[in-house]
Chains A and B, each alone.
Chain A
């Protein structure tokens, strides 16, 4: 077991329904559990998932009560879509680390030409937060063999910020996918670490 800080840590996963957000947060929880932490997560199913916003809070520590983090207290945001990053800033501490997929998925109002997709999201984030790691996870996942593995690419990137052995992550990834998809996802995870 790695060194345990008594403070509960919070990570927010955010993106668009269908991007594999819940699977990614599940994998993180299992990794934290393997590493010896108490862990809780929250998520929402049902209607919200049909192309709408999807979020999942993950919290870990010696003892976790709430599966939801308090607004303004989250230290890490893993955003699966560029503009969605902006939607959740009020949940973050001022010192938060942000990992974001630079892929753009237009909401209906932007598709219709009724609203603009926000400009220079990354520049804005870099002006306000100390650590912003931005890259196109979908492209990396495509290189690993399937665009759907973008969620695991992002997990690789966030694993750099967490004090958990790589072997723990890899063993959880192996348990989380059918045999034929394990190599692809391990490659995707490695690409995220290197991103």
Chain B
């Protein structure tokens, strides 16, 4: 069969297609996003972006209850959002098949936490497969669907950033032809989770657990390699590759299924080797269960709890006398944190917000980057949709002390994800906080995905486009203003006036993302600093716009300036914000 270089996410999408699955729902989130984008490209599939992971999960459950083989995809923290239906669909089971992909992010490359979602499998009593590379990622998808059908259970497939976003050679398989098993079949006793039925299903879950524990003992993807009998490593997922890289001669038990665990197989492996290490990122998830079997193993005593591993982490933990590698360069090197792009519509808004001196509750999106110096435009960020509830709560608690000083900011996609109910709450409980919806017409941070406010679906079809102004008004908010964040004066005035007004207010800052191709933004000519007029006050540098830099030592007669600002024309997008900030008219 054909061999391709594929990322884990591309391979998962291919695996879903090969398994004959044609139905999937998701909300984008790094490192999971490309799974749906790739799946949507295959012929004959139905794939949708739902407004959030809970909705995506419920859509997939509905499809599975109608007999379909359905997939829901989300990042690790998305599983928190979807947890409510997940825990109960574990009781009901499904008619067709249901697989949930959880893409975890050890090291928090693009996330607010690094929770270990293997715990969800144990917590919700749902079997979980964990591939170690793109080939396995592809192959395990069809195993996951088989297990789902065989045991009438949802099945988790856990990926991590390094599986999703590494690329390797994948051998494709012949796709199975999709078989239409969809049908309307009533079975209220199984699917209406009122207590009397739930108690019955609860017992079924434990019966299923017993059957799965038997099944997993012979599951072929739990693989034992006996080499050196002195040392055995029990591991799963990507850490297997890291360990094999540095300790190719040790014995291995590589678990393809991490819930439930194959107790007999683990005992058998333990009998073959003298010393056992459990190599796993994040929580001592395997370690605790293996220790509970009474098998002595070494795990988090020597391996880190935090961050993803690499081959060196494992080598240094096992051979603690090894010296870590050092750089010959000893000077400190300026950090290079990610930054808002040139022409980003968020820049002007956060510049204005800093001037307002308000406490700004942030949310999940590119704009979170504005917390960094020098913009320092927001002061909290917890999770998707949290800014609105937090602003309201702080405003209520502080009463007069917080008057005119509490703001929540939230992107358009994030607002539609989980901000609507909290804004409804603000109207209902008569909040005094100001909410700013940063409407850049797309889901920018994950790479321009569609949402209910963009007018298009994932499949590229035109769709009903929600009108944010009308939606906000329908929730009961009376003070609503629409502004252009490229206009600094208008932005500052709107913030000032709405902070002063009583009752809840919403400002909708509308301007498409500067990288959003469909917005068809005409490039503006780059701006220049007039060296004669620049007084070196550094105001424009406060925007932290990538093309603007400081040139030390360029002095001027009769001026105290010690340098001037300089704009790199090749990066400048011509948004004109710096010209509005300059008090000396030196930028045009």
Q: Does A45 sit within 8 A of B, measured CB to CB?
A: yes
Shortest A184–chain B CB gap in Å is 18
Asked if A113 contacts B563 (CB within 8 A), the reply is: yes
Asked if A17 contacts B334 (CB within 8 A), the reply is: no
Give 11 A-B contacts (CB < 8 Å), ordered by A residue.
A26-B5, A46-B109, A50-B338, A50-B339, A51-B336, A67-B168, A70-B246, A73-B311, A108-B544, A111-B546, A111-B550
A53 contacts which chain B residues (CB < 8 A)? Answer: 336
A39 contacts which chain B residues (CB < 8 A)? Answer: 5, 168-169
Chain A residue nearest in CB terms to B161: A44
Known: A17-B338, A38-B169, A49-B338. A70 touches B329 (CB 8 A): no
With A111-B548, A113-B541 already in contact, 8 other A-B pairs whose C-beta atoms are closer than 8 Å: A39-B5, A41-B167, A42-B162, A43-B167, A44-B165, A66-B245, A108-B546, A111-B550
User: Which among A39, A66, A112 has the greatest number of chain B C-beta atoms within 10 A?
Assistant: A66
A86 contacts which chain B residues (CB < 8 A)? Answer: 327, 329, 333
Shortest A106–chain B CB gap in Å is 5
State A40–B244 Cα separation when bound (angstroms): 14
Which residues of B approach A to under 8 Å, CB–CB? 3, 5, 30-31, 33-34, 109-110, 133, 161-162, 165-169, 240-242, 244-246, 248, 310-312, 315, 324-329, 331, 333-341, 366, 369, 372-374, 445-447, 538, 541, 544, 546, 548-550, 552, 563, 570
State A116–B553 Cα separation when bound (angstroms): 13
Asked if B110 contacts A44 (CB within 8 A), the reply is: yes
B339 contacts which chain A residues (CB < 8 A)? Answer: 50-52, 108
A100 contacts which chain B residues (CB < 8 A)? Answer: none
Asked if A45 contacts B445 (CB within 8 A), the reply is: no
- Residue in B161, B337, B570 whose beta carbon sits within 8 Å of that of A52 in the complex: B337
Asked if B165 contacts A30 (CB within 8 A), the reply is: no
A52 contacts which chain B residues (CB < 8 A)? Answer: 336-339
A8 contacts which chain B residues (CB < 8 A)? Answer: 245
Name A51-109 residues within 8 Å CB distance of B: 51-53, 64-73, 83-84, 86-87, 89-91, 106-109
Asked if A90 contacts B327 (CB within 8 A), the reply is: yes
Shortest A19–chain B CB gap in Å is 12
Chain B contact residues, majority secondary structure: loop
Asked if B109 contacts A47 (CB within 8 A), the reply is: yes
Chain B residue nearest in CB terms to A15: B336
State A10–B548 Cα separation when bound (angstroms): 36
State A16–B336 Cα separation when bound (angstroms): 8
Asked if B168 contacts A68 (CB within 8 A), the reply is: no
Chain A residue nearest in CB terms to B310: A68
